[in-house]
Amino acid sequence: MEMIKSFSVDHTRIVPGIFISRVDHLGEETVTTYDIRLKRPNREPVLDVAAMHSLEHIIATYLRNDPDGKDEVIYWGPMGCLTGFYLILKGNRTPQGIYELMLNAFRSVRDAQEVPGTAPENCGYCRMHNLDMAKWYADEFADYLEANADNSDIFAYPEIERLVTDDGQKFFDS
């Protein structure tokens, strides 16, 4: 079985940032999945689950209401490893091309007075939210993005280097 792209990223070297996880061509439509990484995998504590849930609600609401991007948004949701989010957009913008969108989305969290969509009718686990921690994480990430805007490492995945056999096969150890 072929290894999926997200498992070929060197998680020991990835830094927080905005990365292209994959690009799919669905007929005439191009769809891009972005890795919005807030934490260094296996080196930093993961995001608090309740805060991550709140970030999911607030930023999904922001993205789906942003006049410059709402028609492109397909999905915004958490990574299973709790180190970041996936954003799926129509089109194929570069990570730098969505930098301002992400910066503004995370900055919008600071102004939130409540988490949208938290009534039992709107949310699968409405009691699991933490707005204060969501604001803290959002500010931390937005500050980081601003401080590192000129650092190309926050826009390019570090690839795992693999040995290649004489017949062109990549070597994967166990």
Q: Provide the sign of the torsion angle of the four alpha carbons 100, 106, 110, 112, taken in this order.
A: positive
pLDDT at res. 171: 54
Local structure of residue 164 (DSSP, 8 states): B
pLDDT at res. 22: 93
Local structure of residue 159 (DSSP, 8 states): B
Q: Per-residue pLDDT tens for 2-29?
A: 777 777 778 888 999 999 999 999 999 9
Please report, in tens digits, the pLDDT of each residue of the chain (174 residues total).
777 777 777 888 899 999 999 999 999 999 999 999 999 999 999 999 999 999 999 999 999 999 888 999 999 999 999 999 999 999 999 999 999 999 999 999 999 999 999 999 999 999 999 999 999 999 999 999 999 999 999 999 886 665 666 676 655 544
Both tokens of 33, joined, read 């999945």
pLDDT at res. 87: 98
What are the C-alpha distances in Å from 21 to residues 46, 50, 84, 87? 19, 25, 12, 9
